[in-house]
Structure 1
Amino acid sequence: MKKRILVVDDDAGIVEALSDMLDIYGFEVCTVQRGDKVFENIVNYNPDLILMDIMLSGMDGRTICRALRAIDSTSKIPVILISGGNYETVSTMKQSFAADFIQKPFEMHDLIERIKYQLSIAEQADIKTAS
């Protein structure tokens, strides 16, 4: 079964490029261009991982990430934050409880490796929880 990735970015060009590339790599992709639609799409789509921009129209991806961690049903979904802004990686991850952070522009193969790594960690956690 294909792993499901929810891409959240308000830049249509980024969303399209990420969606196309993730599809090529064998992922099922759902896209959202508004931060206020994230929770609705999580319920409907049930993603295995969320790839989210920090600066969304009217919302901050770090705030959304913290909210996801506070809800039992979404607390274990790995979130990789992306941004073209000048953020310190460690600080951003600690403040938001994100699994990873990658600066724009990024190499697609680097992003894919990070996605695969986070999915493998989540899968191992699921196996341990099920045991």
Structure 2
Amino acid sequence: MKKILVVDDSKEILEVIELILGAEGYEVNGLWDASKLNQRITDFNPDLILLDVMLGVLDGRDLCNLLKNNKLTNHIPVIMISASHNLGDMKDRICHPNDFIAKPFDINNLINKVGAQLAA
């Protein structure tokens, strides 16, 4: 079973994504406190990370950059999610996510993008 780590500071968004992807047969783990990201990655060992851009005091683009520049995590696909940013904004922070989903997201689009990254 493929494991997906969802990082979003909105517990409601976490619950919705956990329900949607859980129903698709994925093991989903939600994290609303992004300061615990590295420990959760170590504990959960995800196959994919869904990462919100705005995470309270932290910026998901900076976290994406750290993940992509760390040899222990750079193999994990990262899909950025944002209501206020677009894929072009990712380049401002030298963040190179594997994909991007705008909020509010279409459920089928979420399922298709997750499936495509996990099949790659």
Q: Per the shorter chain, which TM-score range?
A: over 0.9
- In the alignment, what sits opposite 2:119? 120
TM-score (norm 2): 0.94
Q: Identify unmatched segments of 5+ residues in structure 2.
A: none
- C-alpha separation in 1, matches of 2:18 and 2:91: 24
| Greater helix proportion | 1
Map 1:1-131 to 2 at 5 A. 2-85=1-84, 87-92=85-90, 95-121=94-120
The answer to which structure, 1 or 2, has the higher relative contact order (CA under 8 A, 6+ apart) is 2
Count, aligned residues: 119
In structure 1, runs of 5+ residues without a counterpart are 122-131
Report if the CA contact (8 A) 1:93-1:100 is conserved: no
SS at 1:50 equivalent = strand
Distance 1:37 1:93, change over 3 A: same
- For 1:110 and 1:93, locate their aligned partners in 2 and report how far apart those are by CA, in whole Å: 22
Tell me how large the CA RMSD over aligned residues is. 1.2
Q: Tell me how far 1:58 sits from its aligned partner.
A: 1.1
> Which whole-Å CA distance do the structure 2 matches of 1:21 and 1:119 have between them?
16
1:93 Cα deviation (Å)? 5.5
Give distance in 1, aligned partners of 2:24 and 2:91: 26
SS at match of 2:29: strand
Partners of 1:19 and 1:79 in 2: CA distance: 16
Q: Which has the larger radius of gyration?
A: 1
Equivalent pair of 2:53/2:59 in contact (CA under 8 Å): yes
